[in-house]
Amino acid sequence: MPKAPDQTTNDLWHVVAATEELAIGLVETTLLLDRRIALTRGLDGEPVVWLASDEENGDEIDAETVLDRLPVRTAYGYTWTCLGTPSAELFPIPEYAEADRTNMSCGSIGIHVSAPRAVENFLDMGHFPYVHTDILGSEPHTEVKEYDVEVSEERDEVLATKCKFIQPMAAKSATGAMEVEYVYRVPHPFCSVLYKSCPEDESRRDVIGIFLQPMTEETCRAHLLQSMIDSYSTVTDLRRFQQTIFGQDKPILENQYPKKLPLDPRSETPIRADKSAIAYRRWLSQKGITYGVIPQAS
C-alpha cells in the first residue's frame, strides 16, 4: 500500500499528457501519485480527466458522460490536473506566447526514478561531457564555472543564473563549439525550465521545459517542451534532438540509488557545481515535500 502524498504535493497541478496527443473519444490511462487516472478529449478538443475505475487504455468514450471530473488546466501544450485542492495558478513561462517561436511537445517518456531525481539531473551541467558526449559537452572541457543560485521568495522558485559551459553542439541550429549561458528555473517541485543562449539570435534565448509526472514515488514520466527560435530546423529534427538528449539521460537516471531523492545533506557528496541541486533539495525540505524524496530525519 503506497503512502499518501503530502498535502503540498497533493494540491499541486500535475502534468499528465500532451494535449494534442490525446485522441478525441478514446480513453488513455496513466498513474498520478499512485492513483490510476483516465483522460480523454471531448469533441470540443478540451481534455477531461477523472479517477479511473474499470476503464482500459483505448476504450471508446464520450467525454460528456464523465460527470465526476478532476480539475483541468491546459498550458504549454500539456494537460494538467490536481488530485487535491488546487491552490495556485500554474507557474508562468511568458516566452511561450511569443509569436515567432516554434513551440512543441517532445514526447512523454517513462523513467524508473523519482521525479525529483529527474529535476536534479536537468539542473546539472557537470554531466554534459560524460552523458551527452560531443553534443552538450565534450572532454576535456569539463569545468563548471561559478554561477549564482537564489531561492526567490516572491516567486517561490529556485533560480540559477550565469551558468556557463563549453558545448560542441548546443542546439540543432549550432554550427560549432561555443560557450553557452544557461538560466535555470525550478518554479514547481517537479518542473524545471531552462533558458539557453540561442545560436541564431544573440539577444534571445531558447526555452526548454521538463515537466515530471510523479506516477509513483520511484517512477515518473518526463514531458518535454521546446520553445525555440530556429527558422531552419523542422519540428521533427528539433524533437529528435531533444529525444536524443533525453535518451542519454534515462539509463543514468535508472542506475541511481536510492531512487528517491535523499534530502539529508550527508546522504551524498555535493561539490560547488551542485549549488543549484543543494538549493533545490533545501527548497523541497522547506516546502514539506515528502513524496519521491527521503526526508531529512528531524
Site of interaction with other proteins (CB under 8 A): 120, 124-127, 129-131, 139-144, 251-252, 255-258, 262, 264-273
Neighbour-count burial for 216-236, b at 16+ CB within 10 Å, e otherwise: bbbbbbbbbbbbbbbeebeee
Q: How far is the CB of 122 from other proteins (least distance, A)?
A: 13
How many angstroms separate the CA atoms of 142 and 168, rounded? 12
In the bound state with other proteins, the residue whose beta carbon lies nearer, of 244 and 255, is: 255
In the bound state with other proteins, the residue whose beta carbon lies nearer, of 152 and 255, is: 255
Please, are residues 158 and 283 in contact by the beta-carbon 8 Å criterion? yes
In the bound state with other proteins, the residue whose beta carbon lies nearer, of 266 and 286, is: 266
In the bound state with other proteins, the residue whose beta carbon lies nearer, of 29 and 248, is: 248
How many angstroms separate the CA atoms of 290 and 83, rounded? 16
How many angstroms separate the CA atoms of 125 and 254, rounded? 18
How many angstroms separate the CA atoms of 108 and 277, rounded? 24
Cell, residue 152: 526567490
Q: How far is the CB of 129 from other proteins (least distance, A)?
A: 7
Per DSSP, the three-state class of 72 is strand
Q: How far is the CB of 277 from other proteins (least distance, A)?
A: 9
Q: How far is the CB of 54 from other proteins (least distance, A)?
A: 29
Please, are residues 8 and 284 in contact by the beta-carbon 8 Å criterion? no
Q: How far is the CB of 199 from other proteins (least distance, A)?
A: 20
What ranges make up the beta strands (E) of 6-138?
Answer: 14-18, 28-32, 35-41, 47-51, 72-75, 78-81, 102-111
- Backbone CA torsion sign across 26, 32, 37, 43: negative
Q: How far is the CB of 273 from other proteins (least distance, A)?
A: 4
How many angstroms separate the CA atoms of 263 and 97, rounded? 36
Question: ω before 168 within 30° of 0 (cis)?
Answer: no
Q: How far is the CB of 156 from other proteins (least distance, A)?
A: 25
Q: How far is the CB of 265 from other proteins (least distance, A)?
A: 4
In the bound state with other proteins, the residue whose beta carbon lies nearer, of 23 and 252, is: 252
In the bound state with other proteins, the residue whose beta carbon lies nearer, of 152 and 267, is: 267
In the bound state with other proteins, the residue whose beta carbon lies nearer, of 9 and 138, is: 138
In the bound state with other proteins, the residue whose beta carbon lies nearer, of 23 and 271, is: 271
- Backbone CA torsion sign across 137, 139, 145, 148: positive
